[in-house]
Amino acid sequence: MRIDRVELSWFRGAGESGMLDTGSKSVVVYGDNGSGKSTFVDGVEYITRNGRVCHLQHEYSGSYQEKGVRNTSTPSEENSRSAIHFDDGSSIGADIKPDGSFTISSDPADLKVAIQNWNVESHILRQDEVSRFIHYTKGQKYSALLPLLGLSNLEQAAENLRQLRLNVIEQSGVEAKRILHQQLTGATKERLLSLKEEDVLKTLKEQTKKYAIEQPAEEIKPLTEQLAAEIENRINSLEPKQNRHIIVKQILEEKLLTKLENMISADEKAEEKVGALLDLRISVLEPMEKFVGIIEDPEKEIQCPSCGQMVVGSELIEHVTKELELLREVRAARDEAKAKRKELADSLGSVTKKTAEPNFKSWLELPEQEEPSALIAQLTKIQIAEPDVRWKTEDIVALRDVLPKLIALLEKEAERAPPSTKELIDDRDFVQICSTVPKIHELEDEIKRVQTLIEALEKSEKSVRDEIRNRAEHIVREISVDIRRLWSKIHPGEPIEDMKLYVHGEVDKAIDISLKFFGTDQLSPRLTLSEGYRNSLGLCIFLALALFGGGDDPIILDDIVSSLDREHRGMLTEVILEDLVGRQVLLFTHDREWYSELHYRLPAAEWKFLVLRPWESPEIGLQWSESVHTFDDARDLLPNHPEACGNRIRAIMDTHLSIAAEKLRIHMQYLRGIRNDYRTCVDFLNRIIGEAPERLRKKVDNRWLPYDDPISDWKTTRDLLIAWADRASHKGTLTPGEAEKLIDSCERALNHFRCRSCGDYIWIADQSGRKRLQCSCGELQWRYG
Amino acid sequence: MNGIAFRLHIATITYGKVMKVRVLVPGQNEEGAFSPGEKSLDEIISPALSELDSHSSEVCRYLISLAKNGSLEQHQTRGSITELAEKLLRMLEGE
C-alpha cells in the first residue's frame, strides 16, 4: 500500500490547502526548520492514532488537541481536514470541527481499521524520538514490539485466561468454602478418628443402640436427625435442674467472649484498610472503570482519563485490575467484620432467649444466684447493633466487663451437672459433629471440582505465556540480526557490536537490548553509548522493526539524521538504497547536504524530490518550491538582500558540485595542507568542464556521441560564480537582477547532470566492469576509465 | 540453519546492488505474523486441560471450542468474562 498524496486544510501549518503529492513514489522533502515538513507527518499520525498527535499531548492543547491541531488562522466556522489517498484509490480522512471534535472515515470502510492498526514503532520516526525505543522500560519495549511479534492475540488469550481464573475464584466462593471446610474438619477431628462415611456410619449406629432407635437410617444425614431428635426428647424430659444445666452448657457453647474479640479485631482490620484506601482508590477508579471496559485494542496507547498521561491500554487495564484487587481486599475485610458482628449478635440473641426459658429463669430467681442474675440483666440491656453498623464503644466496654464474669459463673455451674446430663450433652454434641460430615464431603467435592478448573485455567495461561516467550525469542533473534546488519552498515568496523534484543529471563512481558562495547558485554546501551550512538542504534532498531513487521506499508522518517555526521549520513543513504527497496519512504529533512546527496543517489523512477519554501504565515500555509534544488531559500533573499543571496548560492553550489564530482569519479588535484578540504564549486566545475569532452556521451541513434551542450552552460555558470558570487562575498554588491540570473544559471548547470528522458542522474547506474556511469535509460553516459 | 527451514525472499540484483533479503522464522507469513498452521491456541492449551477433561469433559470441550473459534484471543469486557465464568461454573456443577 502506497500513499499517493496527503491533503491538508487548516491543519497545523497548512493553510486552506496543502498537499504532499508523492505520485505513489517514495519522496524526499527538503525544507528549512519551520517550513512545515512535520505538518504532513502530523496529518498522517492524527489519522493513524485516531485523532491524536503524540507530541501535541499537553495540558494546553485542549481536550481534543484542537489548540494544536487547528491552524491558528482557521476561519471560525471552517473545519480542519487531513486526508490520505492511496495508490489503489482508497482514502481515509479526518474532519475536525472548530471545537476539536472529529470524525474519521474511510473508503472503503474497513480501511480505517487497517490504517489505525499501523504500529507507530515501525511506521513513523521523528527527530526527537529516534532513541525512544532505547529509553523505554522493559515493559514498554515489550508492548511496543507486541504487535510486530504478531503475538497480540496470544497475549490477549493469556490475559483472558487470567481474568477468567480470577473470576471463577471470586464467583465460586472457593476461598470461603475452603475456610468453612477447615473449620468443620477441625471440629470433627477432635471427636472422630476417621471421616470416611462407613466409619462415621458405624460409630453412629452404635449410638442408635444406646438410644434404642428401632429402624436406624442407612445414611449419615437421616441417621443424625433420628439421633438428635431422640436426644432432644430426653433432654426435654429431664428434671428442671438437669435441663438448666443443658441451657448453661448451650450458653457456654456460644463462645461469646471469643466472638466479641473476633468482632473487635475484624472491625479494627477493616477500619485500617478502609480508611487508608477506599476514598483515594475510588476517586481514581471511578472514571477509569467505565473506560477500561471500552478499550478496543489494549496494545494501543490511550489517554488516562484520570491523569491525562498516555499509557498503553494493557498497562492501564493492569493498573485498574490491581487497584480493584486492592479494593476487593478492603471489601473482604469489611464483609468479614460484618459477618463477625452478625455472629456475635446472633449468639447474644440466642443467649438472651435461652435465659428467658422457665427452667433457667427460675434458677436465676433463687437468692444465691443474685450475681449471675445481675450480669444477665446487664447483658440483656445492651442494644444489639445491626451487622452494617459498628457497635458503640460503651456497649463493647460493657460486654468486655460482663461476659468474663458471667462465663466464669456458668462454667462453675456446668461443672455441677450430674453425669447423665453430661452424657446427653456430650452425645448431642457428637451427633451434631457427625451431621457435618456429609457437608464436609460435599465441600471437598465442590472445592476439588472448582480447583481443577482453576488449575486448568492457570496451566493454560502458563502454556500460552510459554508459547509467547518461545515465539518472541525466535522473532527478536531475527530482528536482532537485522539490527546488527544495519548497525554494521552505518558503523562499519566500530568496536560497538553484537547488539541484540532479548526476552527477559525472569520477568514476563519484558524485552531489553544488550550489546558489546569494546569487547565488554553491556546490559543496556544507555550505560556506555553517547547520545549520537544511541540515536543511531535507535534508528537501526526502528528500521529493523519496519523491515520485520511493516509489510509494504509506508515508512515515514522526519528529520532523523540531526545527530549523524556526514560519514554516517552517507552510510544511511546506503541503507535506504539497499534495505528499503520496494518500500515507500516519506523522508523529511532540513539538512541540505543530505538532501542533495539523496537527490543525486536515489533513482528518479522510484523517488520524488520536493522542496518546501520557507513558511511565511498561518494564512499562506505550506508552499512548494518549483525547483527540486534548494535554491529557493536563496531566492527568498533576492528582494532585500541580494548580496547575501550570492553567498547562499555559492554555498549551495559548493555542496552540489562536491557530491557531483565525487559521483563522477573526478580526481581533484592534491593541495597542500588544509586547502585540500576547502575546495570551492569553481574548483569542481573547472575539473568537470576539463574532463567532460573526453567523458560525457549522449546516445543518438544507438551511437554514443560527445555531448557538448552542457559544457557551455557549465562554463557560463563558472564565470558568473567567479564574477558575481565572489563580488557578493568580498564587496557585498550584487543586484537582485544579477542574483536571479545567477540562480537560473546554477539550476541549469545542475540539471545537466540529469537525463531529460528518464529523470535519473548520470551516475545512478555504475557499470564498474566497463568503468561507465549512466542514467537508468542509458541515454547519458560518463566514462571514467 | 540450525535445522530450521528458513525461507528466503529472492535476492534481486539491480544496478549492482543487492536488494533486501528477508529471513522469516518458521510459521511466519510474509507480513511477519505467524501463520495459523503453526500451533493454534487450542493446541497450545489442550495439554493443560487434560486433568480437567477427566473431571469435566464438557467444560474442557467448551474451553477448547472458545480457543478454536477465536473468542479467547479477542478482547473481552469484564462483563463478558463474568458471564463466561458463570457459564463454566454452571457446566461444572451440572456434571
| Residue from the list A463, A578, A768 with its beta carbon closest to the beta carbon of B48 | A463
Q: Maximum Cα–Cα distance for chain B, whole Å?
A: 72
Site of grid cell 541515454: A779
Residue A353 grid cell: 432467649
Closest CA to A47 of A83, A9, A100, A3: A83
Asked if B44's CB is within 8 angstroms of A172's CB, the reply is: no
Sign of CA dihedral A218, A220, A225, A228: positive
Contact A603, A776 (CB under 8 A): yes
Q: Which of A754, A749, A681 is nearest to A711 (CA)?
A: A749
What percentage of chain A reaches a pLDDT higher than 90?
A: 29
Chain A residues whose CB is inside 8 A of the B18 CB are 578
- What are the residues facing A8 on neighbouring strands? A18, A82
For residues A763 and A781, the answer to whether their CB atoms sit within 8 Å is no
pLDDT at A70 > cutoff 90 = yes
Q: Least CB-CB distance to A582: which of B20, B75, B85?
A: B20
Where are chain A's structural domains? 1-118+553-629, 238-435, 632-783
Cβ distance A456 to B89 less than 8 Å, yes or no, reads: no
CB contact under 8 A, B17 and A578: yes
End-to-end CA distance of chain B, in Å?
51
3-state secondary structure of A585: strand
b/e sequence A127-164, b meaning 16+ C-beta within 10 Å: bebbbbbbebebbbbbbbbbbbbbbbbbbbbbbbbbbb
Q: Is the pTM of this model over 0.80?
A: no
Q: Could you read off the pLDDT of A450-508 as tens digits, one per residue?
A: 999 999 999 999 999 989 888 888 888 888 999 999 999 998 888 888 888 888 776 77
CB contact under 8 A, B76 and A464: no
A579 touches chain B (CB under 8 A): yes
Q: Do B34 and A471 touch (CB under 8 A)?
A: yes
Based on C-alpha coordinates, what's the Rg of chain B?
21
Residue A5 has pLDDT above 90, yes or no: yes
Give pLDDT, residue A633. Answer: 73
B91 touches chain A (CB under 8 A): no
- Within an 8 Å CB–CB cutoff, is residue A173 touching chain B? no
Assess B81–A contact: CB distance below 8 Å, yes or no: yes
Instruction: Single out the residue of A313, A312, A311, A322 nearest to residue A284, CA to CA.
Output: A322
Strands A26-30 and A607-611, by their bridges, are parallel
Beta bridge partners of A516: A497, A521
Q: Is the pLDDT of residue A322 over 80?
A: no
pLDDT value of residue B95 = 52
Between these two residues, A710 and A613, which has the higher pLDDT value? A710
Query: Which region, left, alpha or beta, applies to residue A150 given φ > 0 means left and ψ of -120 to 50 means alpha?
Result: left
> Which residues of chain A make contact with B82, given a CB cutoff of 8 A?
167, 171
Lowest mean pLDDT among A554-568, A620-634, B4-18: B4-18
Least confident range of A181-195, A288-302, A769-783, B45-59: A288-302
Residue B14, in any domain of the structure: no
Is residue B49 in a domain?
yes
Put simply, the answer to whether A150 touches B63 (Cβ < 8 Å) is no
User: Is B29 part of a structural domain of the chain?
Assistant: no
Between positions 473 and 512 of A, the ones with CB within 8 A of B are 474-475, 478, 481
Query: Is residue B33 less than 8 Å (CB to CB) from chain A?
Result: yes
Query: What's the Cα-to-Cα distance from A447 to each of A169, A170, B81, rounded to whole Å?
Result: 10, 13, 21
Weakest mean pLDDT among A147-151, A242-246, A510-514: A147-151
Tally the domains of chain B: 1
pLDDT tens, position by position, B36-94: 446 889 999 999 999 898 888 899 999 999 999 988 988 888 889 999 999 999 998 88
**Residue B72 lies in domain:** 41-94
The pLDDT of A580-593, averaged and rounded, is 90
**With an 8 Å Cβ cutoff, are A171 and B34 in contact?**
no
Which residues are CB-contacts of B84 (< 8 A; sequence separation ≥ 6)?
A164, A167, B66, B76
Q: Is B51 on the interface with A (CB under 8 A)?
A: yes
Which residues, other chains included, contact B73 with Cβ-Cβ below 8 Å and sequence gap of 6+? A153, A154, A156, A157, A160, B41, B67
Total beta-carbon pairs less than 8 A apart between chain A and chain B: 138
| Subunit contact B81:A548, Cβ cutoff 8 A | no
Within an 8 Å CB–CB cutoff, is residue B85 touching chain A? yes
Q: CB–CB of B23 and A581 under 8 A?
A: no
Crossing angle for the helix pair A419-435 and A240-253, nearest 10 degrees? 40
Q: How crowded is residue A707: how many other Cβ atoms within 10 Å of its Cβ? A: 20
Residues 6 or more apart whose CB falls under 8 angstroms from that of A377 comprise: none
**Which CATH fold would you assign to the domain A1-118+553-629?**
Rossmann fold (3.40.50)
> Across residues A712-725, what is the average pLDDT?
89
Asked if the structure places residue B46 within a domain, the reply is yes
Q: Are B24 and B7 in contact (CB under 8 A)?
A: yes
Cis before residue A108, ω within 30 degrees of 0?
A: yes
Higher pLDDT, A525 or B32: A525
Please indicate if any CB of chain B lies within 8 Å of the CB of A105: no
**Across the interface, do B51 and A452 touch by the CB < 8 Å criterion?**
yes
The whole-angstrom separation of Cα A48 and Cα A116 is 4
| Chain B contact for A381 (CB, 8 A cutoff) | no
ipTM for this model: 0.70
Residues of chain A in contact with residue B86, where contact means CB-CB under 8 angstroms, are 171
Interface test with B, best of A123, A160, A290 (most B CBs within 10 A): A160
Query: Which residue stretches of B1-95 are H helix?
Result: 41-45, 50-55, 57-68, 78-94
